[in-house]
Every structure is written in structure tokens, then in C-alpha cells.
Structure 1
């Protein structure tokens, strides 16, 4: 009986080791697969981001003017935060702090409430929430849950869903799209307009595409932009700054 019990224990131990090994392989393989889907910053964007302040869960572009409205930004799915450095630095240079948030696996859906970390650290500062693509969807959901904490929201190639419906909130909204965006689901975008306030400001960047809201190169399924990425970055910052002037 004792030998039989020892044999069973060895069998259970082997099974446990096999399960652990398989789990490690699955998790490791999934992580590597996700990395193949992730878009990294261009060398220029990477260099600009290195001049900013990288803190826990965010990259901070300091304007030196904490009394002005700041921007908390949620990146698009599988896009590294460094990719947004060009327009973020331009806006910071014009006088508005920009906080580009970092998320697990570069997915805002895995940390949708992360904006609260910035607000808790700067309770006296007013903020606009902004997001690109999936990041915009998650940003709108945060605003709905925290309407008293955010003074406005900017959608970049994005829109709110039902969980992030803003149509009953008295809050300024800026929606920016690109005329050459091949990734944005146009049907969902049009449907999402029902969840926006009536006074939403809509802007279209002629020749701009989906990937052009950051600087990470070409994106699968996107149309080719007919303007240089640097131009789209400048237009984004100009549109956002003009809209911010109301605060």
C-alpha cells in the first residue's frame, strides 16, 4: 500500500509539472504573439519620448504650466505610448501638460481607470481625457464613471459606445478623424454619434489616416496617407490647441 501511495504521489507530481510547463508555454507563446501585433514608435518619436519624463504607468510631457488644463491620453490597442510623442510634445510646448498612459500589453481595456492615478496626484488641476481608437472608447467610459473629474474629451479616430454614452453630459467633445482612415469602422463610428453631445466639434484631417494619429509606421488594413506623418502630427496638435482655448 505504501509503495502504491508513493507511486501515486510521483504520478501527481509529474502531472503537476506537465501542467505547469504547458501553462508557461501557453502564456509565453501568447505574450510573444501579442508582441508581434504591437506597433512600436518610429525612431523620431522614440527620441522625442526619451526627452519626456517616464513615470509609473505614464510618460509625462511637462508644459511648465500646471495651471492650464492638462491632457490624459489613452493610446490605441497594441500601440506603444512612445508613438504619440510628437503631437504630445507640441501641445506641451504650447502650455498644456500631457500624460500618455501605459497599459498592460498596450491595451487600455486592461486599465481603463488609470486616469485616476494622474488626477489623484494633481487634485487641483483640470483635465481633458483623450484617446486614439480603442483608447477613445475606454476614455469615454471613464468619463461616464467620473463626470465631475473631467472637463472635456477628445476622440482621435474613435467614438463612444453605449457604456461610454456622453449625450446626457454637459461636456465639450472634439472628434478628429482622417479622410484616409482604413481601420476605423465607419458604420460603428456613425452609430456612435448618437452617444455624443449635440455640440460635439467634428474635424477631418484631409489625407490623414489611422496610424497617422501617432508615429509608428504603417498599420495593417489602413489606407495610405496622402500627407506626411509630420504634417498630421502638426494638424492634430493645432486642432486640439484651438479646441482647448475654450477652457
Structure 2
């Protein structure tokens, strides 16, 4: 039989403990609440900052998204697709990864110029406009159109992560091209049988020349180097003047044509090998 005195004492102790626990729980709830608020504000601030830093396509780039002049342009959920309006495309097809914080439409003029020369071109959009978060985007296109041959590459940061994809999927790729870009150690193609093309501008003020020179050791033996006189970093696309870049000595249209010509000549060589 229980002791009423002891039971009463235990009840009093438990009640006191609950009273003491309530302020502690409230403090924890407040701490969790304000932690969540701070995290949300930090994330929102990061997205706002990225949006402000992102380069948007200029009017000429937006105009290049139209299906006119012998080129069909298609806006897709994961980017943009260009091909000759006849539907008869030359091989290989071109997979393009945009530069960091550049909206993919900024490269529409280059894609159109390559399509005018007969090749299919796929420009992929990237999460947060950063290729590091979408390095495997090429897989879907290659898997869905296995009858095509492919080269992959990109501008600036996009070229780095395109090389990483190529290094891991050498059986599906014939060549890798770099526009003001290079292959880092994570995308080393040294010793591979792939062909590479490196295109730079003599007025580029953004690309780190030291890193570019050091990274030559990561390229295959079959590498073609092209330097476009008067070209800068930002005019590989049409998204305006890039921070830290030099003024170009040639027009954006002239630079785009020079790049398209160099890429076409390189791809023609691939077709003869």
C-alpha cells in the first residue's frame, strides 16, 4: 500500500520540474525559430546576390532565338536547341556549357552561327547558372540521340566542367573545345585519344593566364590552339561587358563568326580522321 505522504511529495517534485522545464522549452523554441529565420534570410540574400551578379542576354542574343534564316531554334526546359532548318545536320553535334553566372541565351548568337554552318547545337541551362551544379547535363542528349557523334565544351567555367564530363565519358565524346577556358586536374584529358580545341582572345582580361598555361599539361596530344586577335572574354557570348574584362578591338559579331569558323574547321578535321 502506497504512502500518501510520499506520493504527495513526488507529485510536488514533478510539478516543480514541469514548471522549470517550461521556460527551457520556450527558450529552445525561440532559438530554433530565430535560427530558421536567419537561415532563410541568408539563403534569400544569396539568391538575390546571384541574381544581381548574373549576366543577362543582350537584345541581339534574344533575337538569335528566333527560327529564321535557315536555322531552327527551339526553347527547351533544359536549355536551347539549334539546327539547320532542313533537318540535315553535319556531324558531330555540339554540346555547350555556359560560363559561370551567364544565362544560356547569351550564347544564342554563337549557337546560331554554328548551326548556320551545318551543325546541331545544344546549349544547356545550369542550376543557378553555374555549370558545377549541372556537369552531367549532356548525358540525356547523348542517350536520347545515340546515332549522333558529339563534341562537348563551353565558355570559361562551362569549359572546365564540360572537360570533367568528357574525361569520364570518353567513349561517347569525340572532342572537347574550350572557349577562354581549360581542363583542370579533375577533367584531365592527358593521354586520351580525344581531340581538343582551345580558343582564346588576345584582349581577355578575365581568364587567368597562369592557370591556362599550367593546365596545358591536362590536354591530349591532339590539341589545336587558336588565338583570336582583338577578342575579349565576354564576347564569346553576347551578354554585355564582363567585370574585369578588357575592351575588345573587334565587334561581338566578328568574334562570334571567328569562333564559329574555328570550331567548324576543327570539327571538319574530326570528320576526316
1:140 equivalent to 2:156? Answer: no
Q: Which whole-Å CA distance do the structure 2 matches of 1:190 and 1:97 have between them?
A: 31
**Closer/same/farther in 2, CA of residues 185 and 231 from structure 1, 3 Å limit:** same
Alignment partner, residue 135 of structure 2: 112
The CA RMSD measured in Å over matched residues stands at: 1.5
Superposed CA offset, 1:61-112 (max 9, x none)? 1332356311110111111101100010111122211111111111111121
Does the Cα contact within 8 Å between 1:79 and 1:106 map onto a contact in 2? yes
Alignment partner, residue 70 of structure 2: none
Q: Which whole-Å CA distance do the structure 1 matches of 2:24 and 2:186 have between them?
A: 51
Alignment partner, residue 191 of structure 2: 168
Alignment partner, residue 245 of structure 1: 268
Once the two structures are overlaid, the 10-residue window that deviates more, 11-20 or 95-104, is: 11-20
Alignment partner, residue 29 of structure 1: 45
Counterparts of residues 93-104 of structure 1 (less than 5 Å): 93-104=116-127
Counterparts of residues 141-160 of structure 1 (less than 5 Å): 141-160=164-183
Q: Structure 2 unaligned runs (5+)?
A: 1-16, 68-72
Does the Cα contact within 8 Å between 2:106 and 2:239 map onto a contact in 1? yes
Q: Which whole-Å CA distance do the structure 1 matches of 2:136 and 2:243 have between them?
A: 28
What's the TM-score once normalised by structure 1's chain length? 0.94
Q: Which whole-Å CA distance do the structure 2 matches of 1:21 and 1:176 have between them?
A: 47
Bigger radius of gyration, 1 or 2? 2
Q: Structure 1 unaligned runs (5+)?
A: none
- Name the count of aligned residue pairs: 247
Counterparts of residues 179-198 of structure 1 (less than 5 Å): 179-198=202-221
Alignment partner, residue 49 of structure 1: 65
Does the Cα contact within 8 Å between 2:90 and 2:120 map onto a contact in 1? no
1:16 equivalent to 2:28? Answer: no
What's the TM-score once normalised by structure 2's chain length? 0.86
Secondary structure at the aligned position of 1:15 is classed as: helix
Once the two structures are overlaid, the 10-residue window that deviates more, 113-122 or 54-63, is: 54-63
Alignment partner, residue 83 of structure 1: 106
Does the Cα contact within 8 Å between 1:67 and 1:125 map onto a contact in 2? no
Does the Cα contact within 8 Å between 1:65 and 1:97 map onto a contact in 2? no
Alignment partner, residue 73 of structure 1: 96
Q: Structure 1 stretches (4+) deviating beyond 4 angstroms? A: none
Q: Which whole-Å CA distance do the structure 1 matches of 2:59 and 2:193 have between them?
A: 40
Once the two structures are overlaid, the 10-residue window that deviates more, 81-90 or 195-204, is: 195-204
Does the Cα contact within 8 Å between 1:58 and 1:100 map onto a contact in 2? yes
Q: Which whole-Å CA distance do the structure 2 matches of 1:62 and 1:35 have between them?
A: 30
Secondary structure at the aligned position of 2:170 is classed as: coil
Alignment partner, residue 215 of structure 1: 238
1:176 deviates by 0.4
